[in-house]
Structures are given as C-alpha cells and as structure tokens.
Amino acid sequence: MIFLNKESTKKGKIMKTISIINLKGGCAKSTTAINTAALLAMKHKKRVLLIDNDPQGNTSQFFGAYDENTLCGSAEILINKEPSNIWKVLEGVNLIDANMTLLEADNQVRSSMERQDNRLAAFLEKKAADYDYCIIDNPPAILMCTINALCASDEVIIPVTLDNWALDGVEVITRQIEALHTLNQKLKIAGILLTNYKKSIENEMAEKWLRENCPYKVFDTRIRHSEKAVAATYYKEPLEKYSPRSAAAVTYRKFVKELQEIENGI
C-alpha cells in the first residue's frame, strides 16, 4: 500500500526512522509508539510504517494484527525475507507485526555466521519512498532485533515513567546507544519523554533533577496518566479516536506537535 500526498512527494523528502526504546519494562514504549504513529497520520497527514519489534507483540495485539501461529513480519525481516503481510491498521498507518516467532528468529540469526545487524536497515531502505516515518516499538531487552532497530534508526525516543529506578534506566539505555555508534553513526537521541506522569512531590523533584542533569534533551511535554490509556487497549483504538479529550490524548497530541516543530526547526 502506497500513500501519496503532495508534501511527502516533494523532492528530497526521505523517511525518518525513530526507535522507541528503554530497557526498563512498562514505561509506555508501546503506548507511545502506537499513539505517535496514529497522530502523525491522523493530525499531520504523514504516511507511517509502524514496526512491532517486540516478541511480546503488544502493538500487534492492540491493532488485532496478532496471529501466534504464523511467522511474523518482523521475524521474516530478521531472517532476510520480505514480510508476507503488511497490515493496514489505520488510514495512513501500516504495521509489521510481531509474535514469539520473532524470538525464535532472533536465536536462529545469532548463531548464523553472516552479518546480522543490518537486516532491518536493508529492508527499510527499500521502503524509504513509501513512507514519511517509520516508528519502531522495541522490547525491554537488547536482542538482535533491538540491535537491528538501532542500526536502522535515525533517532531514538526514550520513554521514562518516573520512579526511583527510572533515572538509572536512562543511564543504562543511553550507554548502550552510545556504544552502538560505531555501527550507526547517524543515530541520535531525540530525547527523553516523561510518560504516564502523575503529579506528586517526588515526581516533581525527580523531573527537576532529570531536566537539570540529563545530558540529553528532555521533551517539554509530559504525557499525563489517564485511565483512558488502559481502557483504549481493550477497544483497540488509539487515544485520538477512543478518548481525544483525555489527559493522555491531549498530551500525546502536544508531544507529536513538539516533535514536528523540532523537525521543522520551529
């Protein structure tokens, strides 16, 4: 499926690939990947390829694009095959699915003698004219598929839900990303995104510390906690559709606008 719009067919426009990553579990990586992809398409009229790169398959399950008995698209890419199915999940958003077969492919590829880190990059190079953005939802672990995502990405966004261990988590992932610079010199840390944010004295202090001490950009927008974010997973709808006035939807809109403004140099 090819989506065309005037802006994206302008000469020189190329797909931007963004990995959503943190080795800490449950910090809203999938929620951020899903809602960022949805908003780029729905509000900013971008053509988006969303890649579920996590064997848990949460993003695929979210969109009802999960079949545990079939070799998933992200596993196919890892073993150098063309994905047999790319799911159209929203107007302007196509999805490459994941399930546990990605973990099997990951193990298989690790024992191969051939080069393993550049398979997703090679696949995305072929797709660069069809999309404005590729958003990759990553697992909370450094697997070969995670290394492939970092080798294929222009930027990473690190979602962080504040707690006492969150700040150590930022240090761990940023160190891993810096270590990968030899494999992908163009890779940049776009910024740290505070997610599932609840106002409390402790969170305000942790946020202040992070903004003052973190050597990377911390996005101005904080994604607010909202029960609607959990409910939306049952209805399989991005927040913009399910509950556009919820605090989480409002702040995801604000975040994607901030991201676009940074990109456009505003």
Ligand X SMILES: Nc1ncnc2c1ncn2[C@@H]1O[C@H](COP(=O)(O)OP(=O)(O)OP(=O)(O)O)[C@@H](O)[C@H]1O
- Using the minimum distance from each CB to Mg ion, give the nearer residue, 8 or 135: 135
Nearer to ligand X, 25 or 64 (CB): 25
Of 16 and 225, the one with the shorter C-beta distance to ligand X is 225
Partner whose footprint covers residue 129, from Mg ion, ligand X, none (CB < 5 to 8 Å by kind): none
Q: Report the DSSP beta bridge partners of residue 194.
A: 160, 222
For the bound state, the minimum distance from the C-beta of residue 95 to Mg ion, rounded and expressed in Å, comes to 14
Cα–Cα distances in Å, from 148 out to 1, 81, 175?
24, 14, 17
Tell me, rounded to whole angstroms, the distance of Cα 50 from its chain centroid.
Answer: 8
The Cα 246–Cα 230 span in angstroms is 12
For residues 54 and 132, which CB has a smaller minimum distance to Mg ion in the complex? 54
The residues facing 155 across adjacent strands are 18, 188
108, 144 Cβ separation under 8 angstroms: no
Cβ closest to ligand X, residue 3 vs residue 89: 89
Shortest distance, CB of residue 137 to Mg ion, whole angstroms? 6
Cα separation of 185 and 152, whole Å?
A: 11
In this structure, are residues 92 and 41 in contact, taking their beta carbons and an 8 Å threshold? yes
- Give the residue among 186, 251, 262, 208 at the shortest CA–CA distance from 28: 251
Q: Between 8 and 196, whose beta carbon lies closer to Mg ion?
A: 196
Q: For residues 141 and 137, give the distance between their C-alpha atoms in angstroms, rounded to a whole number.
A: 12
CB of 58 to Mg ion, least distance (A): 5
Binding site for ligand X (CB under 6 A): 25-31, 54, 56, 58, 140, 195-196, 223, 225-226, 229-230, 233, 248
Instruction: Name the minimum Å distance from CB 130 to ligand X.
Output: 26
Residue 157 interaction partner, one of ligand X, Mg ion, none, beta carbon < 5-8 Å per kind: none
> Within 13 Å of residue 1, how many CA atoms lie on the same side as its CB?
16
The pair of structure tokens assigned to 201 is: 């004295």
- Residues lying near Mg ion in the complex (CB under 5 A): 29-30, 58
